[in-house]
Every structure is written in structure tokens, then in C-alpha cells.
Amino acid sequence: HYKFFDNLDFTEYKALVLRAGAQDQNRSKIRDELAAGLLEGTDVDFLYQAYRPCVLYLNGEYWGVYFLREKRNRFFVAQHEGTDNVTDMIIAKGYKQTTYGDVTEWVEFYDEACKRDLSKAENYKFVTDNMDVDSFMDYMIAEVYNGNTDTYNIQCYKLKGGKWKWIFYDFCWGFNNVDHQTLKARMGDTGLDAASGRLFKALLNNAEWRDKFVRRFAELLNTAFAPDRVIALVDELYGYVQPEIAREREKFNGETFMGVKQNSQVLGTYEGFEREIARIKEFAQKRPDEIKKQLKSVLGLSDSYMAEVFG
């Protein structure tokens, strides 16, 4: 029994993960943890993984800085949902892939929900009867804010007798381009966005859900994603990894870095790390205004509505 994560009371785990940073490991190393950490202390209605920084040695050999993370599996879902039943659930990935259980029910619901006109009350009720629309709303707001361009890794789950809810993970390609048109991109129905894009677009046809989405976005921009709060967490995460970066990259730098081919001479270097941290901070400062522009333009919101919601 051990309390691995300060923000969680759990002391038992079936498995944990050591995360090196994935596709962000040779850049900032902190993007995924930043995305999750910004949600701590908020009331967002989806699951995300806790983290803890650590320095890894294998048989006495230095191996760099990592983050200890919860492992996303049926035990993770059951633990956070407060149930001992770890079998009566479905965890779907993307559109038709499965993490646990038979995803036929998910595929059938998704197809039916996406083909219906959700502006009609009876069709919207079909969705709300089967899916936690607030969970999906919070999930999509976080995805759009982060400017996540790697949208393949999408997971949702359903306990027996429950509704579909979402799991938030994989933000190696978030916090990059301040002006990325994520809202428009996530309303697409082809490519990597198909697993959430069609459903998102369908729900935005419902005036009630669309209004709640915009107002909830405004709330989270002023709280979870407020620039000062984001930058403070960037500084905290920087403090965890910065003392190890030079040593780690000296060990692994070269034509490849931890097996990843380098496409820029500054990636995988200490200077590249500092540049990425500065880039994330710039994103934090400028992204809220960019989000407001996108909401107004893509959703066709009036000046008076924007003034009412955003002040």
C-alpha cells in the first residue's frame, strides 16, 4: 500500500506506467502532464491520469527523467468510478477498436447518434439517454483548447447500466500552434477526427447543447485554462524536469533520440527544450483570445452573444 499520487487517495494499483514523454520526449517532455495537471481541482466530467515525476535508473545506470502515471485499463476505470466490478464494462477506442469488452454497442450507438438530426428533441433525448453529454462536452473543450492535432487516441467507456463517458489522454502534439483551427478541425468527419468529429458536429446542431458548450468553454478559459494558471503549472513541471534535461540528452542525443529520428538540429538538445517551454508559455498567453475568435467565426455567434458570455 502506497500513496503514489498526492492528489489521489488510492494506495493500490494493478499497474502503473513510466512515461518518457512519447512524441514530446525530445521536445518539452511535459505536454501530456500539463494537459492532465490543468484539470486537477476542477469539476471536469471525464477521466484523466495522475502523474508524478521521477528519475529512472536501471541496474544503477542513469536513464533520464520520467513521469509515473496511472495505467488506463479496466481497473483504472473501476477505481475512479468507485466500483469493485472490473468486468461489467466496455472501453472503446476510436470508432471500432476495443480496449476491453465488445464495442458493438458503442458502434451502433455512435452511428445512430451521428445520423440523427439532434436539433429535434426526441433525437437529442436518444443521445442523452445513452451518453453523458457533459462528459463529452468537457472532453471536447479540453481537446480544442489544447490545440491537439493528434486525435487518434480517443477512448470512451460505459459501466453496466450506465452511459458513455470519456477518457482524456495523449497530448504530445498539444500546446503547439496558438492559431491552430482546432474547433473547425474537430468538426470534421474524415481522417483522424472521425471518431469524435461526427458526434461533435451532430451535437452542435442542438441549440441547447451548443449554448451550454460555449458557456462552459468561457468558464474553463477563466478557471482551468486561465493564462496565469497554465504558466504556473508549466513552471512547476519545468522545475521537475529541467535539472535532468542536459544530462539526459547528453546520454541519448545523436542522429536518433531514444529511437526517434531527429528532424531538426535543435530537437533533442537542451536549447530545444528551453525553446519548447517558451513556446508553451506563449500558447498559454494567447490561446484564450484565439479560442474566442474561433467560437465566434465557426459557430456564427453574434457580437451581443459574445459580449454576454465572455464579457
Full DSSP string of 50-105: -EEEEEEEETTEEEEEEEEEE--SHHHHHHHHT-S--SSEEEEETTTEEEES-THH
Per-residue pLDDT, 251: 80
Q: Is the pLDDT of residue 220 over 80?
A: yes
User: Mean pLDDT in the chain?
Assistant: 92
Q: Is the pLDDT of residue 24 over 80?
A: yes
pLDDT level of residue 249 (50, 70, 90 thresholds): confident
For residue 172, count CB atoms less than 10 angstroms from its CB and return exposed for 0-12, middle for 13-18, buried for 19 or more.
buried
pLDDT level of residue 252 (50, 70, 90 thresholds): confident
Per-residue pLDDT, 267: 60
pLDDT level of residue 250 (50, 70, 90 thresholds): confident
> In terms of pTM, does the model score above 0.95?
no
Q: Is the pLDDT of residue 173 over 80?
A: yes
The mean pLDDT value for 139-143 works out to 95
Per-residue pLDDT, 239: 98
The mean pLDDT value for 192-217 works out to 88
pLDDT one-digit tens code per residue, 261-304: 656 655 678 888 999 999 999 999 999 999 999 999 999 999 99
Distances (CA, A) of 55 to 48, 230, 260, 282, 311: 22, 24, 21, 28, 45
Nearest to residue 205, comparing CAs of 135, 121, 146, 296? Answer: 121
Nearest to residue 234, comparing CAs of 223, 244, 242? Answer: 242
Higher pLDDT, 211 or 24: 211
Q: Helices 194-203 and 104-115 sit at what angle, rounded to 10 degrees? A: 40
Higher pLDDT, 254 or 188: 188
Nearest to residue 33, comparing CAs of 45, 20, 43, 44? Answer: 20
Per-residue pLDDT, 259: 62
* Residue 277: alpha-carbon gap to chain centroid: 19
The cell numbers describing 39, all together, are 484539470
pLDDT one-digit tens code per residue, 122-132: 999 999 999 99
Whole-angstrom Cα distance, residue 77 to residue 93? 14
Higher pLDDT, 187 or 236: 236
Long-range contacts of range 181-190, CB-CB < 8 Å, 24 or more positions apart?
181/294, 181/298, 182/143, 182/144, 182/145, 182/146, 182/147, 182/148, 182/149, 182/294, 183/144, 183/291, 183/294, 183/295, 183/298, 183/299, 184/294, 184/298, 185/149, 186/140, 186/143, 186/144, 186/151, 187/298
Range in 19-28, 127-136, 159-168, 226-235 the model is least confident about:
19-28
Percent of the chain exceeding pLDDT 90 equals 79
Q: Is the pLDDT of residue 255 over 80?
A: no
First to last CA, the chain: 49
Per-residue pLDDT, 260: 64
Higher pLDDT, 244 or 258: 244
pLDDT level of residue 257 (50, 70, 90 thresholds): low
Higher pLDDT, 173 or 134: 134
